[in-house]
Structure 1
Amino acid sequence: MSKPRFLIMLAICMLLFSPAPAWSLQHVVIADFSSGVDENGVPFGWQLKEKSGKADFSITSEGGIHALHLRSEDTSYALQKPVNVDLHKYPVLSWKWKVTKLPNGGDFRRSKRDDQAAQLFVAFSNRKVIAYIWDSSAPQGLMEDACALPFVTIKVIVVRSGPSETGKWITETRNAHADYIRLFGQEPPKIGGVRIQINSQHTETSGESFFADVVFRNHENKMGDQVLTMR
């Protein structure tokens, strides 16, 4: 097994089996990036995982939006957070993201070009993972297996593709419960973690993106309902 793939597998397993509290309110805020950072600049409650090269990230504010700003120059790294979310109670996942630079030639379907500026992983307690990505080349809407990793099954959904919408904030809403059933053919167990990732080391190029307001919610409730932020 190659070292990068071993590190990916190890990080996902650590994410899945890290303890985290369970909640039962209408909305569960995974990240609004307003709670400050530790001495290494990592948002409180999150863990930095460097796979290749040095991570380059910061917390920024744009028009009142607190965001995680990710930059990659021939590097690969992620920030991950242990959570405990039941998709039967909170089936809808929403987040904001903005991509300002896509890795040139990136394509998750080719292992030697598997680079993306923006990736949001939802890891389940049974070692199955859904990856919502903004790819440089793969067509929008494609659902396909990721490159094989031992002990972990990753299914990819291409939410956005190409440069046509780069440079602007986009709010995404996915029924993660329905996505899981569609991809794995069964009801989902609880979510064990969320991971935000960027990489450009395969294409030896660069990428840049922003993430904000990652939330699981009950689709029957309105935005004014009670909200819980997970720290």
Structure 2
Amino acid sequence: MRVRSGRIFLPAQQNAGMGPWARLVLAAVFMGWACVALAGGLPALYAPGHPGWKEKEFVGRTVYTPLQEEKLLLAESNGTASGLFFEQSIDLRATPWLNWSWKVENVLQGVNEREKGGDDYPARIYVVAKGGLAFWKTKALSYAWSSTEPEGAMWPNAFTSSAYMVAVRSGTARVGELVTEKRNIREDWKQVFGEDIEEIDAVAIMTDTDNSGQSARAWYGQPWFSKH
């Protein structure tokens, strides 16, 4: 792995067997972007040019457009995969609940999200706990708007068992509607990894359709953490 001029370069053999989701997690681990201490949660996703949110492109570029009046971030993917992530330590003992809102225009057709060829999602938000110097111990939990898996399903990511998917929403039910979500990260983490986690290190969002070659549009509200 090489870092040059603020960009990350993974060895070809390491990069080849990984999906964009897993590569985004590794980027968050290795880049070493500075954390920003902010009270009351993360900065607004829709703030243009905010230095905290960084973009990582993998297969083409998912276009993320801030919508100032709506206070939402529009994501448009056309056979592409790129994501945004923000590195900040969150004390889950004090604020274990992740809150956010999202909306999708469509779900994907005929994909098997448990296989590498179907590892695409119209919308997902995930949290990352880094393994420190033991980067291979990095784990992540991804909350997805699933196209095919039933609501409430949990399964290992198609590219790595160090990341688990959670189908918060499923299929076309509530498509086109802005939905508010709330998840207890500590409880979910213990259920899938068997660990009582006390802190996470990064939050990310991604709309991607590179494996299926389809298109998707989604809107994201600002994520924030709360005690209850």
Q: TM-score if structure 1 supplies the norm length?
A: 0.82
Kept after mapping to 2: 8 A contact 1:16/1:192: no
Compare the two structures and name the one with the higher strand fraction. Answer: 1
| Residue of 27, 32, 36 corresponding to 1:14 | 27
Deviation at 1:190?
1.9
- Larger RCO, structures 1/2 (Cα 8 Å, 6+ apart): 1
For structure 2, which runs of at least 5 residues remain unmatched after alignment? 1-13, 132-137
Instruction: State the SS of the aligned residue for 1:101.
Output: coil
Greater Cα shift, 110-119 or 154-163: 110-119
Q: Aligned AA for 1:155?
A: Y
Structure 2 counterpart of 1:160: 169
Aligned-residue identity in percent: 24
The CA RMSD measured in Å over matched residues stands at 2.1
Equivalent residue runs for 1:89-128 within 5 Å = 89-126=94-131, 127-128=138-139
Deviation at 1:21?
4.4
For structure 1, which runs of at least 5 residues remain unmatched after alignment? 38-42, 220-231
Structure 1 counterpart of 2:150: 139
Looking at structure 2, the residues matched to 44 and 2 of structure 1 have their Cα atoms a distance apart, in angstroms, of 27
Residue 54 of structure 2 corresponds to residue 47 of structure 1: yes
Q: What are the Cα deviations for residues 180-216 of structure 1, in whole angstroms up to 9, with x where unaligned?
A: 1111111114211111011112111111101012001
Structure 2 counterpart of 1:194: 203
Kept after mapping to 1: 8 A contact 2:19/2:159: no
Matched length: 207
Looking at structure 2, the residues matched to 122 and 173 of structure 1 have their Cα atoms a distance apart, in angstroms, of 13
CA shift in 2, pair 1:113/1:11, >3 Å: closer
Q: Aligned AA for 1:130?
A: L
Deviation at 1:31?
4.0
Q: Aligned AA for 1:72?
A: S
Deviation at 1:10?
4.5
